Chains A and B, each alone.
Chain A
């Protein structure tokens, strides 16, 4: 509609701005596909899991363990939600995340993950030293563009930036 009337680019832009402001929102930033509100309404957070000890351990598929599974459970509990764990191959999980059939995907991912252009990721919540390249920069993956969900998860991660906690678990895991 705006492109059909390109009387001047500045006018079109101003029109776009007005249009955006008229639509309004109740969260800032808002989710384009309402992941966070939908999850809160359902009372469940849909989380894909990929086995990657000690970050995600799937010895009991009904209740995944590991550092990231615990983090996510804690985040869900804090917002009064249950976690609905989803088990599938990694390609299916990433595809589901892109289509917002999943809210989060965990599996010991780092900033070196190959999907970062297509999905959302948090800031580096833990830096593991002694890893090659950026493999030690740990992040959680989120549904792409769902910024309210991303912000909410990151706000939680700010309160959990405790390297000692992760380090002690890492050392435990290294012992036979």
Chain B
């Protein structure tokens, strides 16, 4: 069986990828420290228990990204002749589902505490049942402020990398970071509201964020599904077509022996593969050799293009 050649990332992209992998490890580390801080400050507060569970969900995108990266490194083999590059799309779907579940969870939880009119009790700070002479709300706010900083910085750092590397999963993770720190900001306002005597402040603040997270989650899940269904190459952030088809058409039409050309491309994770239909001049007899030359010309046009096929045809039906 003819398996595909393994894809090699350009050196400068490889460097960016290393940076992204390092950021993900750092993310995992910080999420774990945040969960520990939340656990120690939550006392008997239900709202903080929810915040802790939500923070645990934030582990999913970095973990699936790292697992998918591990899978993706494998060269194509007999069992998977087209390679493993789509592993990253599956990871993207999983990460998007995590964001969606996170939003749904928050939404239902805050609605149910509003309906049940749960009045959160926050007394003195407690650690393993023992009281300390400070209002527990202040300690929660301190923990929440700590839980804002790492995702805020890491999310901002991941965005440009996601764009440069064409990594949807990394972009989803950056969105998750945004959801994460905004949840903490909402929780701070909620705790302050409780201090002022508004039992509903916590739930309403969470509800506002939940709507935002749900919107992000549905957009991402939709995008992940469309990408898995061989979508044309699009920008990972704006979802606008990249226009690679036109770039290829324009470049190949400049060749003297090419009469007509039309490309058809699909996303395979960070890679773009597909077919180029070419009508050669009637005089051209070296069709096989020229086809291979055209492939090298086309692949050199963008770093994402990989393993394109040139299909010589008599006429292109449009």
Q: Which A residues are closer than 8 A to B by beta carbons?
A: 2-3, 6, 9-10, 12-13, 16-17, 20-21, 23-25, 27-33, 111, 116-125, 127, 134, 137, 142, 144-148, 150-151, 154-155, 157-158
Identify which of B119, B131, B137 contacts A145 (C-beta below 8 A): B119
Does B112 belong to the interface (CB within 8 Å)?
no
Does B186 belong to the interface (CB within 8 Å)?
yes
Q: What are 26 A-B pairs at a CB distance below 8 A? A: A9-B209, A9-B212, A13-B205, A16-B201, A16-B204, A20-B193, A20-B196, A20-B201, A23-B196, A28-B135, A28-B196, A29-B197, A32-B198, A33-B119, A111-B129, A120-B121, A121-B44, A121-B121, A122-B123, A123-B129, A124-B131, A134-B129, A145-B121, A145-B199, A147-B121, A150-B121
Does B147 belong to the interface (CB within 8 Å)?
no
Given A29-B195, A120-B123: 15 more A-B contacts, CB < 8 Å: A2-B204, A2-B208, A10-B182, A20-B193, A27-B197, A29-B197, A33-B119, A123-B130, A125-B131, A137-B129, A144-B120, A145-B199, A146-B121, A147-B194, A150-B123
* Residues of chain B contacted by A121 (CB below 8 angstroms): 44, 121
* Residues of chain A contacted by B185 (CB below 8 angstroms): 13
Instruction: Report the Cα distance A22→B189, complex, angstroms.
Output: 14
* Residues of chain B contacted by A13 (CB below 8 angstroms): 182, 185-186, 189, 205, 208-209
Given A123-B130, A146-B119, A3 and B197 contact (CB-CB distance below 8 Å): no
A29 contacts B209, C-beta separation under 8 Å: no
Given A9-B182, A145-B119, A154-B124, A30 and B208 contact (CB-CB distance below 8 Å): no
Given A20-B193, A145-B121, A151 and B198 contact (CB-CB distance below 8 Å): no
* Residues of chain A contacted by B119 (CB below 8 angstroms): 32-33, 120, 144-146
* Residues of chain A contacted by B177 (CB below 8 angstroms): none
* Residues of chain A contacted by B133 (CB below 8 angstroms): 155, 158
Instruction: Report the Cα distance A120→B118, complex, angstroms.
Output: 11
* Residues of chain A contacted by B199 (CB below 8 angstroms): 32, 145
Does B207 belong to the interface (CB within 8 Å)?
yes
Q: Residues 97-137 of chain B: 1 if any A CB is under 8 Å from the residue's CB, otherwise 0?
A: 00000000000000000000011111110100111010101
* Residues of chain B contacted by A24 (CB below 8 angstroms): 196
A151 contacts B123, C-beta separation under 8 Å: yes
A122 contacts B131, C-beta separation under 8 Å: yes
* Residues of chain A contacted by B198 (CB below 8 angstroms): 20, 23, 32
A29 contacts B189, C-beta separation under 8 Å: no
Q: How many residues of B contact A (CB 8 A)?
A: 36
Q: How far is the CB of A100 from chain B (nearest CB, A)?
A: 9
* Residues of chain A contacted by B126 (CB below 8 angstroms): 123-124
A25 contacts B197, C-beta separation under 8 Å: yes
A3 contacts B207, C-beta separation under 8 Å: yes
Q: How far is the CB of B254 from chain A (nearest CB, A)?
A: 46
* Residues of chain A contacted by B192 (CB below 8 angstroms): 17, 20
* Residues of chain B contacted by A151 (CB below 8 angstroms): 123-124, 135
B129 contacts A154, C-beta separation under 8 Å: no
Q: Tell me the B266-282 residues at the A interface (CB within 8 Å).
A: none
Does B211 belong to the interface (CB within 8 Å)?
yes
Write the chain B residue with the least CB distance to A134.
B129
A123 contacts B124, C-beta separation under 8 Å: yes
Q: Which of B129, B130, B135 counts the most chain A CB atoms within 10 A?
A: B129
Q: Residues 207-246 of chain B: 1 if any A CB is under 8 Å from the residue's CB, otherwise 0?
A: 1110110000000000000000000000000000000000
Q: How far is the CB of B189 from chain A (nearest CB, A)?
A: 5
Instruction: Report the Cα distance A145→B207, complex, angstroms.
Output: 19
Q: How far is the CB of A97 from chain B (nearest CB, A)?
A: 11
B186 contacts A30, C-beta separation under 8 Å: no
A117 contacts B46, C-beta separation under 8 Å: yes
* Residues of chain A contacted by B122 (CB below 8 angstroms): 29, 147, 150
* Residues of chain B contacted by A9 (CB below 8 angstroms): 182, 208-209, 211-212
Instruction: Report the Cα distance A10→B211, complex, angstroms.
Output: 12
